[in-house]
Amino acid sequence: MLYFPVSWVPDCAMHIRFSPLLATLCLSSPALAADPLATPSAVVAQAPASAWRSIAPDTLLVMTVEGGKRVVIQLAPDFAPAHVANIRALARAGWWDGESVYRVQDNYVAQWGDATEKKALPAGIATDIKADYVRPLATLKSAPLPLPYPDAYAPRTGFIDGWPVAMDQTSAWLPHCYAMVGVARNLSPDAGTGAELYAVIGQAPRQLDRNIALVGRVIEGIALLASLPRGSGELGFYAAGERRLPILSIRLASDLPEAQRPHYQVMDVTSQSFADYLRLRANRKDDFYDRPAGGVDLCNAPVPVRPAP
């Protein structure tokens, strides 16, 4: 397995032929690279319209909770097709309406669904869907753009179609980074259905990768979930008498009236803006930083997402 040197900037003439993303990083905008005040957030703010891609409304899951606040989740059907199909069916059936966020474990996850685990599921919900843990690279729409740094949990990491991915030579899987959404399950061979979901609200628990299906990421409202009171029961489950956050509804954005639909865009990971953003995530040059890190791990380079202008 080929790993790139951690020092920055790499010898482009030597390494450019091995990695499309590294080639893009090596060819980053000279003007931006020379600006000592440039920051990742500045790159995002200045990115042209051509650097953004619209997120399809049928991949946006809108959870409305008590008080009318909402959490918006971008689903990843290319990586977890069976679970996402279940989630769409559950949303269209109104299955989550009246349920709750019933577990909040500090530095770990916030989990929601039916706290009793006894509510009947809609007809047609698939159950034997462990294949969603890992996807063959050959089945994905785009080639990966690899990160040129070693990873503790996978032979390779990078980005595919706006998603962070971990990889080996033949397969790819979504990583347990902050705000990623996964499917709660019991002991194997159970793989869950998508009825019970959780969002990562702490340090990335990457040891869960390939052991649980990940189905998307929170792109609005993660602060709401992360700031909820922690459950006092085992594993952060709310004990008797502790108040759970009520869920009013969960719907696909495509099923909402146009006036109520959220619209979002994700940065194109093949764009020059993303290359500049990633370079600065690895090597901050603004006044606060005395020493550039010389690298960045997958979970510390979240692909930018913004409300559509």
User: Residue 151 pLDDT more than 80?
Assistant: yes
Query: Does some domain include residue 100?
Result: yes
Q: What is the mean pLDDT of the chain?
A: 89
Contact status, residue 193 vs residue 211, Cβ threshold 8 Å: no
Find all residues with CB under 8 Å of 117, minimum gap 6, and list them.
196
Q: Tell me the pLDDT tens digit for each residue of 13-34.
A: 333 333 445 554 544 444 444 5
> Among the three residues 225, 243, 262, which one is the final residue of a domain in this structure?
262
Query: Does some domain include residue 1?
Result: no
Structural domain span for residue 102? 56-262
Q: Which two tokens stand for residue 237?
A: 């489950």
Residues 101, 192: one domain?
A: yes
Per-residue confidence (pLDDT) for residue 21, from 0 to 100: 52
Q: Tell me the pLDDT tens digit for each residue of 46-101.
A: 999 999 999 999 999 999 999 999 999 999 999 999 999 999 999 999 999 999 99
- Residue bearing the bigger pLDDT, 27 or 213: 213
Q: Tell me the pLDDT tens digit for each residue of 90-141.
A: 999 999 999 999 999 999 999 999 999 899 999 999 988 877 999 999 999 8
Per-residue confidence (pLDDT) for residue 273, from 0 to 100: 96
Query: Does some domain include residue 110?
Result: yes
Residues 84, 182: one domain?
A: yes
Per-residue confidence (pLDDT) for residue 35, from 0 to 100: 60
Query: Does some domain include residue 7?
Result: no
Residues 64, 99: one domain?
A: yes
Q: How confident is the model at residue 284 (pLDDT cuts 50, 70, 90)?
A: confident
As for how many domains the chain has, the answer is 2
User: Residue 287 pLDDT more than 90?
Assistant: no
CATH number, domain of 235, equals 2.40.100.10
Residues 153, 231: one domain?
A: yes
Q: Alpha-carbon distance 109 to 107, whole Å?
A: 7
Q: Tell me the pLDDT tens digit for each residue of 243-269.
A: 999 999 999 999 999 999 999 999 999
Q: What is the DSSP letter of 235?
A: G
Contact status, residue 36 vs residue 285, Cβ threshold 8 Å: yes
Per-residue confidence (pLDDT) for residue 258, from 0 to 100: 95
Q: Alpha-carbon distance 269 to 117, whole Å?
A: 39
User: Which residue pairs from 257-261 have beta carbons closer than 8 angstroms and sit at least 24 positions apart in sequence?
Assistant: 261/57, 261/60
Q: Alpha-carbon distance 237 to 229, whole Å?
A: 11
Question: Strand 197-200 to strand 60-65: parallel, antiparallel, or no bridges (unpaired)?
Answer: unpaired
- Residue bearing the bigger pLDDT, 189 or 64: 64
In terms of Cβ atoms closer than 10 Å to its own Cβ (0-12, 13-18, 19+), residue 80 is buried
Cα distances from 203 to residues 180, 227, 249, 283, 299, in angstroms, run 11, 15, 28, 21, 9
Q: Which amino acid is at 227?
A: S
Q: Is the pTM of this model over 0.85?
A: yes
Query: Does some domain include residue 255?
Result: yes
